[in-house]
A and B are shown apart, each in its own frame.
Chain A
Amino acid sequence: MPGLFKKNTKITVDYSLCGDGEGIDPRTCCKCLQSCEPAVFLLHETLGADEDNPLDPQLWRITPLWLSLCSRCMKCVDICPVQAITVL
């Protein structure tokens, strides 16, 4: 099981810069989505603080979803206009 000991890729998106009503609207930008070859990111509506809460359809987020498929090309980090993405 060589994969077990490999370091997992962690991608964080700073939601104060992108999405969550502050910063830029991810629906109009989408640069990280389009630059990513394996399509790691997902554009979706926020779930709210609690999953049972009524949802605000105006808030959209980008979540790095398929992390294990990230090839660490760093294109998303370079292309993001507000530098919200970090890849660890």
Chain B
Amino acid sequence: MCDYCMTHGAGGKWYLNAQNYSNEIVEKYNLRDFLMEQYTNFEQISVRKTHGFNAVGLGYKLRMPLIGRIVKRAAEKMLHSRKPPTNPFKAEGHMGQVVPLEDAITILEKCAAEPIIEKNCMCRYMSRGIKESCCINFGVMSEIIDQLPRFIPEKDKYHLTRKQAIERFIRHNKKGYIGTIWFGPFPYVNNLCSCESPECAGIRPRKDFGIMSIYKAEYLIQVDPLACTGCGACVSACKFGALKITGNPAKVSIDLNECYGCGVCRHVCPQVALDLVPRDEVPGFAGVY
């Protein structure tokens, strides 16, 4: 259990606390205007300079001695910011965590504030030029998206009931998209995304550059060695390279340090040999996000 759950979890996980989805937070921090401004100029966030740096060639900047460490620290400080957000051109307090399907369904059933919508994924649009609707938004975010036509999917109905949202999320998750839940900005939770690597701008800094832009899930994957036949279907489903086939007879082996606990590999296993276990129960991995 990390600090987010301690302070905003009400005794459980931070994303299962319905208080974090409430409109009270919106009024307290005046987030309506903030989010409107942020999402009107959303595509520019990566190229805009913050503290004199933008994300162009970030890998090279991080590789520089000393300056690299300063850039990394500044980026993490911005993403983990807990102050009331002030600058809508920065990704202030925009922290996320990977969620498996079960937790995402609980979020949609019990926590998510109405109205619920599904908007076009901007990460996919910015990095691939494709408009694919798979980001589920709640509460005030939904009202803001209503006014920004480029986020609204053309084909499908985008205002969803809870049941429809769950159906859509299950469909994305089964397709191999990683479920992620986001503060946007802290402490307001309003995004339940179905991400893909390398397109996702939230997973990318963590995976490629080691910046803590997203936390790993509260779970880890575990394999039943007796059921596993070593077919390798899960290996290609894992976006993080945590699974590989080794040994004789061939079985899947899991690199727990690489596993983000998204649980997407379970959907492709024909033997149902993979299962999620809570992170706290795995020795050495409790509290390692």
What's the minimum C-beta distance from A63 to chain B, rounded to whole angstroms? Answer: 6
Binary contact track B37-72/A, C-beta < 8 Å → 1, others 0: 000010110111100000111111001110000000
Residue among A29, A64, A67 with most chain B CB within 10 A: A67
The yes or no answer to B208 lying at the interface (CB within 8 A) is yes
User: In the complex, how many residues of chain A place their beta carbon closer than 8 angstroms to a beta carbon of chain B?
Assistant: 27
Residues in A with CB closer than 8 Å to B65 are 1, 4
Q: Which residues of A contact B273 (CB under 8 A)?
A: none
Q: Does B198 sit within 8 A of A, measured CB to CB?
A: yes
Interface size, B (range): 20 to 34
B199 within 8 A of A: yes
- Determine if B58 and A66 form an interchain contact, defined as CB atoms under 8 angstroms apart: yes
Tell me whether A44 is interfacial, beta carbon within 8 Å: yes
- A3-B63, A30-B128, A34-B129 known; A47-B55 Cβ under 8 A: no
Q: CB distance A42 to B47 under 8 Å?
A: yes
Contact assessment for B57 and A4 in the assembled complex, using a CB-CB cutoff below 8 Å = no
Residue in chain B with minimal CB distance to A48: B44
Partner of B57, one of A34, A39, A67: A67
Q: Are A4 and B63 in contact (CB under 8 A)?
A: yes
Question: Which of A1, A45, A64 gathers the greatest number of chain B CB atoms within 10 Å?
Answer: A45
Q: Is A80 among interface residues, defined by CB-CB distance under 8 A?
A: no
B161 at the interface (CB under 8 A from A): no
Q: How far is the CA of A4 from the CA of B63 in the complex (A)?
A: 7
Asked if B164 is an interface residue, CB under 8 A from chain A, the answer is no
Chain A residues with a Cβ under 8 A of chain B: 1, 3-4, 8, 26-27, 29-30, 33-34, 38-39, 41-45, 47, 51, 55, 63-69
